[in-house]
Structure 1
C-alpha cells in the first residue's frame, strides 16, 4: 500500500499533466514542464516514474482495469455501461484530458475497442436484416464506434456541461 504522501504527489503530477494537456499535445510535454507545473523537483518526479511515458502507462493500466470492470459488469446493459463511463469521465480529469486531441492514442484506442465490442451485438440486430457483407458490417461497427467516441470528445471539449445521464440518454437514442 502506498503512503498518503506518495499518493498525493502522484495526484499533483496527474493534475499538472491535465493542465499541460489543455494547451500542448502529450508528445510536446517535457518532464521539466511537468515538474514545474506540479511544483515539485525533478528528483521527486523520478522517485515515482522513469519518465512521462512511465507515468501515463501506470495511470492507463489502472484505468484499463477500471474500464474493463465497467464493460464486464454491464455487458448486457449498454445504458448502464455508457452511463458509468460518463460518470467516470466526469470524475477523472486526467482520463478526460487523455481522450482529447492532445491525449494519448493508447487510451483512445482502448476505449474505442471496448465500445466496438459493446456495440457489435446491437449493430448486428440493427443491420442484420439488411444483408450487409462482412466488410460492410465491419465498416458499420467502426462508423458507430467513432461516432460515439466523437460525442465523448465533444462533451469533454465543451466542459462536460451535460450530465452523464443526459449523455447516456442521447447516445442510446442514436441506436434507436
Structure 2
C-alpha cells in the first residue's frame, strides 16, 4: 500500500517536483503538460495523479516548499525580540540560487515574492497613516528590483542590489522583514 509518507511516494513526489522545475527553465507553467512531467520524472500518469490533482496543485506544492526554504534563512530570528530586519541573507541567497528564484516567479500567480512584507510595529515609526499603501509600494518595488536583477542573470553584486534598495527606501528598509508564508495581500 502506498501510504502518504512512505519512501517510494516521497521519491516519486521529489522526482515529479524536480521535473517540473527543470521544465520551467524553458517554458511557462501553462505550456507544461502532465505527460511531459511524467516522462521527465520517469513516472506514470497514475503516480502523478495519486500525488497531485493537476499541474497547478503540483506548482502550489513546489511554491510552498520554496517559500519554506526562504523562510528558513531567517529561522533563528523568528520569535526573537531583536531581528535584523535586513534583506542581506535573502539577496545573497538569490545570487547563489538564481534558477530557484526564476522558477519561483514563474510559479507565483501573483508574480511577486510572498515573503516580502512589513513589520507593522516598526513601520509605524515611519508612517502613521496609509500604512497599507506604503506596504504595497514597498512590496512591488522590491519584487521589481529582484525580477530585473534575475533577468540580468544577477550581473550586479549583492552589495549593489542592497545599495539600490537602501537608496530607494532609505531608513524605511529597516521596517521590512521576512514573514511567515501567509498569503500576501494583493
Instruction: Give the structure-2-normalised TM-score.
Output: 0.62
Alignment match, 2:148: 154
Please, which of 34, 39, 51 is the counterpart of residue 36 of structure 1?
39
The alignment status of 1:104 with 2:98, answered yes or no, reads no
Partner of residue 57 from structure 1, selected from 55, 60, 72: 60
In the alignment, does 2:166 pair up with 1:172? yes
Displacement after TM superposition at 1:150 (Å)? 0.8
Pick the aligned partner of 1:83 from 80, 88, 94: 88
Residue by residue, what CA displacement relative to the aligned partner does 1:84-132 show, whole Å, maximum 9, x if unpaired? 2234433373443121xx43226x55x34x32224x5565444x4xxx7
Residue 118 of structure 2 aligns to a residue whose secondary structure is: helix
Cα distance in 2 between the residues matched to 1:150 and 1:18 = 22
Equivalent in 93, 98, 103 of residue 99 of structure 2: 93
Q: Which has the higher helix share?
A: 1
Task: List per-residue Cα deviations over 1:5-37 (Å, max 9, x = no partner).
Answer: 766654543343234334433234221122234
Aligned twin of 1:143: 137
Q: Hey, what's the Cα distance between the residues in 1 that align with 2:154 and 2:13?
A: 24
User: For this pair of structures, how many residues does the alignment match?
Assistant: 161
Q: How far apart in 2 are the matches of 1:6 and 1:160?
A: 36
CA distance in 2, matches of 1:46, 1:88: 33
CA contact (8 A) 1:17 1:94 kept: no
Structure 1 spans left out of the alignment, 5+ residues: none
2:177 corresponds to: none
Q: Measure, in 2, the Cα distance between the counterparts of 1:143 and 1:12.
A: 38
Unaligned runs of 5+ in 2: 171-186
Please, what is the CA RMSD of the aligned residues? 3.5
